[in-house]
A = this chain, B = another copy of it.
Amino acid sequence: MNVEIICVGTEILLGNIVNTNAAYMAEKISEAGLSCYYQSVVGDNEERLLESIKTARKRSDIIILCGGLGPTEDDLTKETAAKSYGRKLIMDEESRLHIEQYFAKKGTQPTENNWKQALVPEGGRAIFNPNGTAPGIIMEEKDARLILLPGPPSELIPMFENDIFPYLKELTPGVILSKTVKICGIGESKVETMIADLIDAQSNPTIATYAKIGEVHIRVTASGEDKKAARKLVKPIIQELKDRFGNYIYTTDESETLEQSVVDLLLANKLTVSCAESCTGGMLSSRLINVPGVSDVYKSGFITYSNKSKRKLLGVRKSVIDKYGAISAEAARDMAKGLAGVTKADVCVSVTGNAGPDASEDKPVGLVYIGCCIKGRVSVTEARFSGNRNKIRESATAAALSFVRNNVLEYYSRITFGTDEDN
């Protein structure tokens, strides 16, 4: 069975608001094991809305219409849906009572147009809305089931969780299981090349790659009779990906971010971290600090954009800046080492580079050096990024997270291997 989402609202078409409802519902639909092949947005316009419903009825089993259930004249989703199916609108007594009570509680009087929210298309079922006056509606028509939902996320989301999601799950024939493998430190094309054979051979499960800044996600999706059958299809592919990408995989948890995996790795090894940033200017620390619980690992950060602050706060040597420039492997090394001296953190990361727009010190735009000092031992890597200033800084930040991760893994795996040999 497949579900189609139609969001109704001129404010979405004008770009006044971002359509977060669609993303929310799409994720839940997928979680319920149903497919969603189409999403669309149409304004509060009867003709175009009728056309959209007509198209959807031909190609989808379930249509979710959201928005346009308000009390104003603009709001015509319910009226149009009823028209499309040739249904009259009938007063729903429970909904009418709810509106009455809702206004009484607020101490105000409903206006005449509020009562139209209690009308339900003949044969339809009203879904209680504890957070507003527009009930949801389910119409179980022959060609396609129709679900009408209020537009405000504060009304839509609770209604979806409580009523719509369980309803959709009951309709699911089998189960769709999706698992994501998240990779850092290799580009999308390289990843794609490394799994070209798997992608060529795919049918169930399907395999797709998604490029993010400094990361690639591979999604493996299987459908099966039940959860167990779907899991059985997904599992060997995930194992194969683990074999091929090894430590480049930072997580197989859908909700885990790269910064979170770095923080977890530091926590697991009881390590503290400090950052010294030039071109990234706080972005690296900012990503780490977005992880709840980071206080157990994060010591402090320095933003040393000027050469003077690099020297004063981190003790970068004047001779290094004079000879190699502030955008150099040597400067990144001095920054990381100096940071370790000042903060005594176990892991000290430094980033220096040219984010553009102009070449500086005769160094090209996009050239970045990242240093990592773990307990006195410093590694430095050079990278080149393209794009505008912000893109280069975001790429450098992601690369720094990957670099820290690799360095910690390398340093500690060496110790682990040693321990293994001892056993």
Any B CB within 8 A of the CB of A190: yes
Copies per complex of this chain: 2
The answer to whether B286 and A282 touch across the interface, beta carbons within 8 angstroms, is: yes
A18 and B14 contact, CB distance less than 8 A = no
Does A389 make an interface contact (CB < 8 A)? Answer: yes
A292-308 interface bits toward B, Cβ cutoff 8 Å, 1 = contact, 0 = none: 10110011111111100
The smallest beta-carbon distance between A213 and chain B, in angstroms, is 7
Contacts of A294 in B (CB 8 A): 305
Bound-state Cα–Cα, A312 to B313, Å: 13
Please give the distance in Å from A360's CB to the nearest CB on chain B: 9
Given contacts A105-B366, A277-B282, contact A14 B26 (CB under 8 A): yes
Question: At the interface, yes or no: A136 with Cβ under 8 Å from chain B?
Answer: no
Most buried by B among A37, A71, A302, A364: A37
Complexed CA–CA distance, A418 and B40 (Å): 56
**With contact pairs A36-B13, A282-B282 given, residues A158 and B18 touching in the complex (Cβ less than 8 Å):** no
Given known contacts A13-B36, A37-B43, is B211 in contact with A152 (CB within 8 Å)?
yes
Contact A309 B305 (CB under 8 A): no
By a beta-carbon cutoff of 8 Å, the part of chain A in contact with chain B is: 10-20, 22-30, 36-45, 48, 51-52, 55, 59, 70-74, 102, 105-108, 110-114, 130-132, 152, 154-155, 158, 178, 187-190, 192-193, 196, 199, 208-211, 213, 219, 275, 277, 279-286, 288-290, 292, 294-295, 298-306, 309, 312-313, 356-358, 364, 366, 384-391, 393-394
Q: Nearest residue in B to A312 (C-beta to C-beta)?
A: B300
Contact B158 A388 (CB under 8 A): yes
CA distance A389 to B219 in the complex (A): 27
Check if A300 sits within 8 Å of B290, measured CB to CB. Answer: no
Q: List 6 A–B pairs whose Cβ atoms lie within 8 Å, in order of A's numbering.
A: A10-B208, A72-B199, A112-B193, A154-B387, A282-B303, A292-B389
Top 4 A-B residue pairs of the complex, sorted by shortest distance between their CB atoms: A282-B282, A281-B289, A15-B27, A301-B303
The interface residues of chain B lying within 8 Å CB-to-CB of A281 are 282, 285-286, 288-290, 298, 301
Chain B residues near A210 (CB-CB < 8 A): 11, 15-16
Which of chain B's residues have a CB closer than 8 A to the CB of A72? 188-189, 192, 199, 209
Note all chain B residues with C-beta closer than 8 A to A283.
282-283, 286
Task: From known contacts A131-B391, A289-B305, infer whether A23 and B30 are also in contact, taking CB-CB under 8 Å.
Answer: no
A208 to B73, CA, bound (A): 9
